């Protein structure tokens, strides 16, 4: 009987849903300035990808190589990136259009705390942020998740038990 391997599409979709739910919680409760939520999100993503890699190795009876496991982890990350990027675009443009204003106001407050910045410099920064908010949000989603996915895939591939079959070994039968 052959073991069924859980698809990277299923694993990436589940991780995406968790990430999206966390993003909605941050929006609903206005927790943009709570840095610890970002760390929780990073831990969930990396932990989920590590678990995905280990599960893949176990479902394959550990007959895998480091490269096989890493590839599976990064495929899971790729699915996550696509779904989260689409969600990011939809949320910024249509679902939560006031999110942009909230985030810009927070960044204005943070810039105002810096005594080296003049009011004119702050206005320039805010205008630039308004102009490129959507590309920055999408780019951040893609690059940030890809970086975390690589880390999670490397850790998962290193942690998973491997017993690869030698394709050049003589059959014992």
Which parts of the chain register pLDDT below 70? 1-2, 167, 171-173
pLDDT at residue number 3:
75
pLDDT at residue number 166:
72
pLDDT at residue number 30:
87
What's this model's pTM, rounded to 2 decimal places?
0.87
pLDDT at residue number 2:
64
SS (H, E, C) the chain: CCCCCCCHHHHHHHHHHHHHHHHHHHHHCCCCCCHHHHHHHHHHHHHHHHHHHHHHHHHCCCCCCHHHHHHHHHHHHHHHHHHHHHHHHHHHHHHCCHHHHHHHHHHHHHHHCCCCCCHHHHHHHHHHHHHCHHHHHHHHHHHHHHHHHHHHHHHHHHHCCCCCCCCCCCCCC
pLDDT at residue number 34:
85
pLDDT at residue number 169:
72
């Amino acid at each position: 009987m052959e073991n069924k391997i859980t698809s990277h599409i299923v694993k990436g979709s589940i991780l995406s849903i968790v990430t999206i739910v966390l993003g909605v919680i941050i929006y609903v409760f206005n927790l943009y300035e709570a840095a610890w939520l970002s760390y929780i999100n990073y831990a969930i993503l990396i932990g989920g990808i590590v678990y995905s890699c280990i599960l893949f190795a176990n479902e394959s009876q550990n007959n895998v190589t480091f490269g096989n496991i890493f590839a599976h982890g990064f495929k899971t990350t790729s699915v996550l990136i696509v779904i989260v990027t689409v969600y990011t675009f939809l949320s910024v443009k249509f679902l939560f259009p006031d999110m942009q204003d909230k985030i810009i106001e927070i960044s204005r407050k943070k810039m105002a705390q810096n005594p080296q910045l003049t009011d004119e410099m702050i206005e320039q920064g805010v205008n630039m942020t308004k102009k490129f908010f959507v590309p920055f949000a999408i780019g951040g989603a893609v690059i940030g998740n890809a970086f975390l996915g690589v880390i999670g895939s490397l850790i998962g591939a290193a942690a998973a038990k491997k017993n690869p079959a030698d394709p050049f070994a003589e059959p014992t039968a």
